[in-house]
Amino acid sequence: QVPPSLTVPDYLNQPTRNESILVFMNVRFATSKRMANELNRTLLDLDTLCAVHRHTKCHWVIHSVFTQDFLLERFHKEYKEKLPSNIIDFRTTVSDGRFNKFGFLKDYLTNMSNYDLVLVKDNDQRIAGFPWASFLDKKGSAIVSGPLRQAPGESFLKTKIWEISQHYKFHDARGWKMRNFAPWST
């Protein structure tokens, strides 16, 4: 007999949420391989999150920065038509320099009030495998909530020699775990 997990997708067995959700994500594409890998991971995250919120609105806005024109052309030729345009709104730009990853949010400020939840995430923050339902339960009625970030090596005892990846210490899990809070955060 075929195990149930092979006949029914696991995400359909998850409890659903009644909140609608709007997701903002930035991603920078420097190579064709990275673009293909990142789009596959993004679709997995999208499927995972929208399955939990499947009885309400689930919409993604993805700000895609391409480092070269040919990558944007390839994206339009090979990928854009395969992606669910009723769920994803792609904002695309070409730039090989630094960019403000929050700058594009201002265009959506009035639209945010049409959703119960707004998630602003980096492309390296995976939703698939993240305990999303538990996170929402624990956030309670908080207006702003977010997970802390920590690279796997930063949790080792030898962290003195490990380069810390968080530039903004407020989001650094190590400080919170050690109860080493900034004075304005307690």
What string of pLDDT tens digits covers the 186 residues of the chain? 333 333 334 545 566 788 899 999 999 999 999 898 888 888 888 888 888 887 778 999 999 999 999 999 999 988 887 788 888 898 999 999 888 888 888 899 999 999 999 998 888 888 887 888 888 888 888 777 776 665 555 555 545 555 555 555 545 555 555 555 544 444
- Can you give the length of the chain in residues? 186
* Per-residue model confidence (pLDDT) at position 153: 57
Q: How far apart are CA 179 and CA 159, in angstroms?
A: 16
Give this prediction's pTM. Answer: 0.73
Q: Who's near 173: CB < 8 A, 6+ residues apart?
A: 148, 149, 150, 154, 155
Q: Is 39 exposed, middle or buried (0-12, 13-18, 19+ CB in 10 A)?
A: buried
Amino acid at 78: E
